[in-house]
């Protein structure tokens, strides 16, 4: 149990209160003490009741409160989707193309999500928060049909920026799952993602109650892909290499999650973590109780 002040700036009001008390003490009485005892033998010095009454009022305005220990309540799961809209997502190794298949898969994931908060981050050359964490799944469903590489202001593939933005969406002390939807990661990107992660190693992450986890949904086949002439011209290459599934699987494992390739069925990721959020209802304001002595003066 701890005593705190909810509005400590009201302590400044003690300065004029002390100054007024000093003035009252220095104020010369109308009668000297000897004359007062002679003329008013049964009288006592006047007590500055108003001045004293101001003290509990000031202390009440400061908001003294008892903190009855930190209590926590169960927070709904937080799922942060990091969706790549790089130009390579238009490759057609997954019919009709990778971006379309991802949209359909996310619609299915959204349909089975019950009560969890979902945030959506889009990335290409840079990352953008398309939807803050919300339980309004209908709002996310309305966004999905328009998510294609052509909507991004500049092309590229920068998953580490999306990861940094996703980690920033996690409230302090809470946990979350980050779902990275991508068609591949180079060794350099894997290294930068690892450097950004707040904990390293599966067991180390699992020991931390608020540690996030990274799952990867791979939107690509395991073979190199020949591009259509239009896409080859846009990307400046004729083919895309096969993703390094082993390194990506190792990355997901080290960061507490799993890798699943995009298929016709929903991926079987581990259940989302349920976190604990601080309960703000543990403070008891004692200010009103300090005003009870003033009722005696009313």
Q: State residue 204's pLDDT score.
A: 47
Domain parsing of the chain, residue ranges: 2-70+281-297, 74-278
Q: State residue 131's pLDDT score.
A: 96
Q: For the residues of 24-52, what is the DSSP string, one character each? A: HHHSPPSS-HHHHHHH-TT--PPP-HHHH
* Backbone torsions φ then ψ of 186, nearest 5 degrees: -80, 160
Contact status, residue 61 vs residue 12, Cβ threshold 8 Å: no
- Tell me the β-bridge partners of 275: 75
d(C-alpha 120, C-alpha 230), whole Å: 29
Q: What is the value of pTM for the model shown?
A: 0.69
For tokens 């180079």, the residue is: 186
* Backbone torsions φ then ψ of 5, nearest 5 degrees: -110, 125
Closest CA to 175 of 138, 135, 216, 133: 133
Q: State residue 207's pLDDT score.
A: 45
* Backbone torsions φ then ψ of 213, nearest 5 degrees: -135, 155
List the structure tokens of 255.
């960061």
The residue count of the chain comes to 298
d(C-alpha 86, C-alpha 189), whole Å: 14
Query: Per-residue pLDDT for the chain (298 aa), expressed as one digit of tens each?
Result: 678 888 999 999 999 999 988 887 776 566 566 666 666 665 565 667 788 888 888 989 998 888 775 555 566 789 999 999 999 999 999 999 999 999 999 999 999 888 889 999 999 999 999 999 999 999 999 999 999 999 999 999 999 999 999 999 998 778 899 999 999 999 999 999 999 998 654 444 544 556 799 999 999 999 999 999 999 999 999 999 999 999 999 999 999 999 999 988 888 898 887 665 555 556 788 888 888 877 776 6
For residue 232, give the DSSP letter.
H
Closest CA to 231 of 86, 123, 100: 86
Fold of 74-278: Rossmann fold (3.40.50)
Q: State residue 51's pLDDT score.
A: 83
Closest CA to 286 of 56, 70, 49, 84: 56
Contact status, residue 184 vs residue 144, Cβ threshold 8 Å: no
d(C-alpha 249, C-alpha 260), whole Å: 9
- How large is the C-alpha radius of gyration of the chain? 32
- Tell me the β-bridge partners of 122: 83, 128
Q: Where does the chain show beta strands of DSSP type E?
A: 2-5, 64-67, 72-75, 78-84, 117-123, 127-134, 177-182, 213-218, 225-226, 239-240, 259-261, 275-278, 283-285
């Amino acid at each position: 149990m701890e005593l705190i002040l909810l509005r400590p700036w009201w302590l400044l009001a003690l300065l004029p209160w002390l100054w007024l008390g000093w003035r009252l003490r220095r104020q010369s009485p109308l009668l000297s003490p000897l004359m007062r005892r002679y003329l008013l033998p049964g009288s006592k010095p006047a007590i500055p009741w108003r001045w004293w009454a101001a003290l509990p009022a000031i202390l009440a305005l400061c908001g003294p409160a008892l903190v009855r220990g930190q209590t926590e309540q169960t927070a709904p799961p937080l799922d942060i989707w990091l969706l790549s809209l790089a130009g390579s997502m238009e490759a057609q190794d997954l019919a009709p193309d990778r971006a379309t298949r991802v949209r359909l898969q996310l619609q299915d994931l959204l349909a089975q999500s019950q009560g969890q908060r979902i945030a959506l981050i889009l990335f290409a050359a840079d990352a953008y928060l398309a939807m803050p964490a919300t339980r309004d799944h209908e709002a996310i469903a309305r966004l999905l049909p328009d998510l294609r590489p052509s909507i991004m202001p500049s092309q590229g593939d920068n998953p580490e920026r999306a990861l940094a933005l996703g980690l920033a969406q996690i409230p302090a002390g809470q946990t979350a799952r980050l779902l990275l939807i991508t068609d591949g990661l180079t060794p350099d990107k894997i290294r930068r993602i690892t450097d950004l992660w707040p904990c390293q190693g599966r067991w180390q992450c699992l020991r931390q109650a608020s540690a996030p986890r990274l799952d990867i949904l791979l939107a690509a086949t395991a073979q190199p892909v020949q591009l259509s002439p239009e896409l080859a011209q846009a990307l400046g290459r004729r083919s895309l290499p096969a993703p390094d599934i082993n390194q990506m699987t190792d990355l997901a494992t080290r960061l507490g999650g799993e890798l699943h390739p995009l298929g016709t069925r929903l991926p079987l990721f581990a259940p989302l973590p349920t976190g604990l959020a601080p309960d703000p209802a543990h403070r008891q304001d004692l200010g009103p109780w300090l005003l009870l002595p003033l009722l005696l003066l009313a």
